[in-house]
Amino acid sequence: MQRARQKSWAQFPGWPVDLSVDALADMSGVPSIRFAITPVMVTHDIDSPEGLTNLVKDFLPIEERVGCRSANYIVPCAWPIDHGLLGEVQRRGHEIGVHGYDHSNLTPFAAPGDRKRRLEEGYRLAERYDGMGYRAPSLVRTRELIEGLKQHYRYDSSIPTSGGPFPVPNNGCASARPWRFGNMWELPLTMPRDGSLRFLGYSADEILAMWKSSAEYIARSGGLICLLTHCEERFSGNPPMLAIYRAFLEWCAGNSRMRLCRPRDLIGELEVSE
């Protein structure tokens, strides 16, 4: 039913990708960052112990086969983290970041003192794993949350280009280019997400086709490709979704106009080039 109601939840930004803001920037001459070779970043929100187990078992081998390293945003204060496993993720060259506090979506709306405490406790995981990035659970954020993140992180990646039906309709920045919030970078989440696509009833083959067409569109406009998949079985940790994830990564790796990188690598390059 939601798929049929796309007009109501994707008036603006449109679905699955809307680059109106980048088009306006180019037409009006407002400076923005355009990439000649498209950075491709694959990210996972690790919401549960199952997600972490599946990441190591199923996702990392697919990524490493094509020379790719992912960014993994871990819920820091909700369930016991297997630090042996997470340490292995880091040792294999993948990036670790922070995914909220306990995934209850309260931090953006908490009283100032409580928000500060939640952000500080979450940041301890980043300190342990040299993390510099944040992803808000369910992409729920407020101005106050963004302000608080600036104290700790070099980048946030919680703003979708085109939000789809979640967390609220008509949500997103309609840009696939990075920008700054003061000292902190924003790397928009530019690709349609596995959660929305699965909820809307898209098949694995339809999702692969949509990922490829979205990636080509973003690449043509000089944007960055940032994909979120979840490793739990009910999202992307199942054979059909793993097969198209592999196919998408191989397709990107074989495209001379694209390059696979981690968000932290891109942040380093952006800061050098300024």
Q: Which residues bind Zn ion (CB under 5 A)?
A: 45, 47, 137
* Distance in Å, CB of 162 to Zn ion, minimum: 18
**Cβ-contact 75, 99 below 8 angstroms:** yes
Residue nearest to Zn ion (CB): 45
User: Of the candidates 52, 3, 44, which has an alpha carbon nearest to the alpha carbon of residue 249?
Assistant: 44
Alpha-carbon span 37 to 137, nearest angstrom: 30
Q: Please report how close the Cβ of residue 56 comes to Zn ion at its closest, in angstroms.
A: 18
Q: How far is the CB of 46 from Zn ion (least distance, A)?
A: 8
Instruction: Report the residue number, 47 or 186, with the smaller CB distance to Zn ion.
Output: 47
Instruction: Report the relative pairing of strands 71-74 and 225-229 from DSSP bridges.
Output: unpaired
Please state whether the peptide bond connecting residue 16 to the residue before it is cis, i.e. omega within 30 degrees of 0: yes
The residue among 216 and 233 lying less far from Zn ion, judged by its C-beta, is 233
Q: Which is nearer to Zn ion, 38 or 43 (CB)?
A: 43
Nearer to Zn ion, 50 or 216 (CB): 50
Give the largest CA-CA distance in the chain.
Answer: 51
Minimal distance in Å, beta carbon 45 to Zn ion?
Answer: 4
Angle value at C-alpha 74, between 263 and 191, nearest 5 degrees: 45
- Closer CB to Zn ion, 16 or 97, in the complex: 97
Least distance in angstroms from the C-beta of 209 to Zn ion: 25
